[in-house]
Amino acid sequence: MSSYLHRYIEDAAVMSCPSVPRKYKYLQQAWDAGDDWDNPETTFPSDPVLGSYCFYWNYMGFLGYDEPPFRGPQNSLGGRVRSTLIVSDYFGYDHHQSPGAYGSCEKLKGGSFTPGTEVSSAYWSRHRLQWQH
């Protein structure tokens, strides 16, 4: 995202959810470098940095029950057209660091801290409730 947005947003902290328990230590460096980011702690030729937000570029939302929930991108690349960027907090399930659990940058009630990795911020996680009959 930084390759697209860096000229509009210089401070990478704007792109990190304030509820993340611990921010990625190379966030600003990775943001400034864009696609040329190489993490000094890894040997990968190119290191994607996982963010605490999800980005939807030129996607349309709910279109009705007969349509898929998202359709996009709607505009061709390079043309003089209006673009839309939707940014939402990350919420996921069954990450390799917390199998069978929900994860979010927002604190989950009863959740626990899941440490960051060499390419991601820390996040909150919580296993599904087990219902008893």
What pLDDT is attached to residue 15?
82
- Specify the pLDDT at position 11: 92
**Could you tell me the two tokens for 48?**
């994607």
For residues 108 and 116, what is the distance between their CA atoms, to the nearest angstrom? 17
Cis peptide before 73 (omega within 30 of 0): yes
* Long-range contacts (CB closer than 8 Å, 24 or more residues apart) made by 96-100: 97/125, 98/125, 98/127, 100/127, 100/128
pLDDT tens figures, 93-103: 887 788 888 88
Higher-pLDDT residue of 76 and 49 is: 49
Question: What is the pLDDT at residue 16?
Answer: 85
DSSP state of 4: H
pLDDT computed for residue 46 by the predictor:
61
pLDDT of residue 88: 79
Q: What is the pLDDT of residues 15-71, one digit of tens each?
A: 888 888 888 888 899 889 887 888 888 776 666 777 787 777 766 655 666 765 555
